[in-house]
Structure formats: structure tokens, C-alpha cells
Amino acid sequence: MNMDTMTLSPVKRFVETLDASLEKSLATKSRQAELLDRMESIDFPTTRTEAWKYTRVAKISKNQFYVNKAKLTSAESFFIKNLNALTIVFVNGFFAPEHSDSISENGLTITPFSLAKQSEIDALNKIEPGFDDVFSILNEAYAQDGFYIHIEKNKILSQPIQIVHVLTGENTIAQLRNLIVIDESAQAEIIQSYYTDNSINGFSNIQNQVIIGKNANLTIEKIQYENGENFHICRDKVKQDADSVFTTNTVTLDGKLVRNDLNIDVIGQNATTHLNGAYLTKDNQHVDNHTLVDHQVPNCESFELYKGVMDENSTAVFNGKVLVRKDAQKINAYQSNGNVLLSENASVNSKPELEIYADDVKCSHGSTTGQLDDEAIFYLQARGLSKSSAKQLLVSAFIGDVLNKITNKSVRNHIDAILLERFGWEF
């Protein structure tokens, strides 16, 4: 081993393999150089970093990942049945036109950045990601592709948009930077789903920029079902303007390490925000959800409900923060996190936070963690249900609370099918 390799910082070492395997990033060469400079001074987060206190990333930082332009023979098995959606597929982080719909609809732009106009890429690059750790900078510097969705003023989409991501191969990295812009009074539903097809040690590092115009209505659903050999980090930075309604449902069903950051800046009055999350884990899974709702203006409402069920040796983290700024009066903000541990070896760290600088607001938060109620199990058994049926019924009731927030029946059926397949739970 030569001296150079020995003295390389973990970040540098990580970047070397990316440099070698990625032909072209969405970032310009000069921007990439700038970002690499910034990376000089920072390292991967450790558990001493407050935002990563309960999530160890050594399994990612010590790994080597490669950009891998692979093809799938078919992607249809990953599509949500009866969804009747406009579907775009990415394989290993690259747009896969052979599996995607060709879309031409007035008032709607959907394009991968690899095929986008330079002006659209420039627009993306102008946006600050809103996160400043290594993973965010890596994503910005080495984003290989991404999608751009623009829904124009007054456009009401009659079909949902389905973005399907599939990882395949060994040690594959997929870094995507996505931009969703929905203009005034437009309406849309976007489903992002993540799967693996014989992928080992894969890593999806995703950043979404979401810009919601006045009076627009946007629903984003995220289904995370990459298998337990893979890593997933997803960042969302949302800006929500006046009178808009934004709903986001994050459902995490598998993955070795999953970290979600969902930051929402509410910048216009009378906006409504719904954040729902369900995480169901087993084996050695680790799922970490960080959310931030930043109420910067008065007269808005936000509702947050996250629930998790942890089995076997799995762990979960919930850190939800609601920030109400000084002039943001008349805010109603509700946050709730509930957890059920099905095994003695499962654990969860839950930290709800309220930071309020205004004096005329209604805010509440709560967190519960417990086991299934033995008395309830006995009651159900005394009516003839087996212990496992009784438990399943109680788990379904607990997590159903969140899943019922998903109003799209096809999406819900898809999730229920995965729950049955992975956990044997029927809803």
C-alpha cells in the first residue's frame, strides 16, 4: 500500500471510486470542484454528531460503491397494480427509457435530467439542497441523474406519477437529484418507490427539492422496499407557499439502513401540511426518520403522525421537530410518534421536539413506546383467535392508523401486499 492511499481521508477514499466510475455528473465541473473543496474539511457523521446520534454510518463510509449502468429485462413487476399512472423508471440511478412511459401532456413536464435542457439543469443547480453533511454534498457533486417534474399553473393531473427506482448488482451507488415544481393552483400525486433486484451492498443517496406554489395541492408517497442488504439515504427539502396543501406519506418496509430527512419550510400563510410515516422493521434493520416543519409565517397548520413496529433485532429512530418562528402566530401544529416493540432485542429512540418563538399558537407533541398489550392478546385468544392472529390484529390496528391516511386504493393495496409478503400480516 502506498503512502497516498494510507493517508486518504474516508471521504476522499469514498470519492475516488466514484470519480473512477462516473462519466458525468449533473453538477458542472467548477461546482463539483467547489464541493470537493468543502468535503476536504468534513468527515462522515459520527454518533457525536447530534443529527446522527443513533445512526451509525460506518457500514456505508467504509464500503466502496461504484456507478453501474445496468439494464433490467423487465421492470413491470415493480409497478403498482391498477394504478393507471404515468411511470418513469430509473435503474441504478439512471433513467431507463425502455421501461418508462413517453409522456406528452399539456401543462406537464416530466424529464430525466440526463435528457433535460441545460436551462433546467442550471435551475436545479441553483437550488441549495438545504443539508450540509457529507451525504448531501456527495449527492450534489456526483448526482448521476434525477427527474424534473413541472406541473404548470391550474393543471390538475388526472393520473398519478409513479417514479420507480430499482437497484441491481453489487456495491452499486445510485445518486439522484430530483426537482419537483408545482405551480399555483395545480394538483398532483407523485409516488416514489424504491426496490432491489438482486442487489447486494447497494446505496441509494437521493435528494428531492420540492417547490409548491400558491394554492397548489401535492401528495408525495414514498415506498421504501429495498432489501435488507442495501442502504438508503433520502433528503427532501420542501418549500410550501400560501394556501397550499402538502401531504407526504413515507412507508419504510425493508432496507439495512434507511435514513430519511424531510424538511419543510412553510413560507406562505394558510398552508396545510400532513406528514405521515410508517416503518416496519425486522432482522437487523435500522430506520431513522428525521423531520422538520419550519413554520415561518402565521396562520398555518401541520399534522404529523409517524408510527413504527420493530421486531427481532431491528432499531428505529424518530426525531421530529416543529419550529414556530417569532412572527408565525396562530399556528396549529400537532405531532405524534408511536412505537411498538415486538421483540426484547428491538429498540427505538424517539425524540419529538417543539421550538416555539411565537406566543399565540397551538402545538402538541407526544411519543409512546411499548409492547403489545398482553391483556388484549388474552382477550382475543379467549374468543378463539390464535396468539399470532391476535398479535397480527393488534399490529394491524396500530399501524393501520397511519396506513389509512393513504387514500389511493391501489397504493394501499400495494403496501398491504408487501406487508403480507414480508411480515405475513393481513390488513
- Nearest one of 44, 205, 182, 202 to 129, comparing CA atoms: 205
- H or E, element range at 247: strand 245-252
Q: Which amino acid is at 77?
A: S
User: Whose CA is closest to 192, among 158, 239, 160?
Assistant: 160
Nearest to 304 by CA among 326, 321, 325, 327: 321
CA distance 405 to 76: 26
Give backbone dihedrals phi and psi of 390, rounded to 5 degrees, phi first: -60, -45
Site string for other proteins, 103-142 (x = CB under 8 A): ----------------------------------------
Q: Which residue stretch of 182-190, 309-317, 368-376, 410-418 sits at the interface with other proteins (rule: CB under 8 A)? A: 368-376
User: Min. distance of Cβ 373 from other proteins in angstroms?
Assistant: 7
For other proteins, the closer of residues 154 and 386 by Cβ is: 386
Tell me which stretch binds other proteins (CB under 8 A): 54-62, 165-173, 175-183, 371-379: 371-379
Show the beta-strand stretches assigned E in 51-98: 86-91, 94-95
Taking the alpha carbons at both ends of the chain, their separation in whole angstroms is 56
| Interface residue with other proteins, options 379, 407, 409, 420 (CB under 8 A) | 379
Among 32, 125, 171, 389, binds other proteins (CB under 8 A): 389
User: Closest Cα to residue 21, out of 211, 203, 172?
Assistant: 172
Residue 375 binding other proteins, by CB under 8 A: yes
Question: If you search the block for the grid coordinates 425493508, which residue do you land on?
Answer: 254
Q: Which is nearer to other proteins, 358 or 385 (CB)?
A: 385
When asked if residue 383 is in the footprint of other proteins (CB under 8 A), the reply is yes
Quote the least distance from Cβ 386 to other proteins, whole Å: 5
Query: Taking CB under 8 A as the rule, does residue 381 contact other proteins?
Result: yes
3-state class of 323 per DSSP?
Answer: strand
423 binds other proteins (CB under 8 A): no
Among 19, 376, 410, 422, binds other proteins (CB under 8 A): 376
Q: Which of these segments, 90-98, 120-128, 156-164, 391-399, binds other proteins (CB under 8 A)? A: 391-399
- Coil, strand or helix at 84: coil
Q: Please report how close the Cβ of residue 277 comes to other proteins at its closest, in angstroms.
A: 17
Cβ 117 to other proteins shortest distance, Å: 50
Segment near other proteins (CB under 8 A); pick from 39-47, 177-185, 218-226, 393-401: 393-401
Residue 349 CA to residue 330 CA, distance in Å, equals 31
Q: Which of 72, 152, 394, 408 binds other proteins (CB under 8 A)?
A: 394
Q: Fill in the DSSP letter of residue 93.
A: T
Are the C-beta atoms of 190 and 219 separated by less than 8 Å?
Answer: yes
Provide the angle, in degrees to the nearest 10, between the axes of the packed helices 29-40 and 134-142. 160
CA distance 194 to 354: 31
Residues 397-416 that bind other proteins (CB under 8 A): 397-398, 400-401
Using the rule CB under 8 A, give the single segment among 24-32, 232-240, 254-262, 379-387 that binds other proteins. 379-387
Least distance from other proteins to the Cβ atom of residue 414, Å: 21
Quick note: the x/- pattern for other proteins over 64-103, rule CB under 8 A, is: ----------------------------------------
- Site residue total, other proteins (CB under 8 A): 21
CA distances from 275 to 3, 24, 179, 201, 292 (A): 49, 35, 19, 30, 10
Helix H or strand E segment including 231: strand 231-240
User: Which positions touch other proteins (CB under 8 A)?
Assistant: 373, 375-376, 378-387, 389, 393-394, 396-398, 400-401
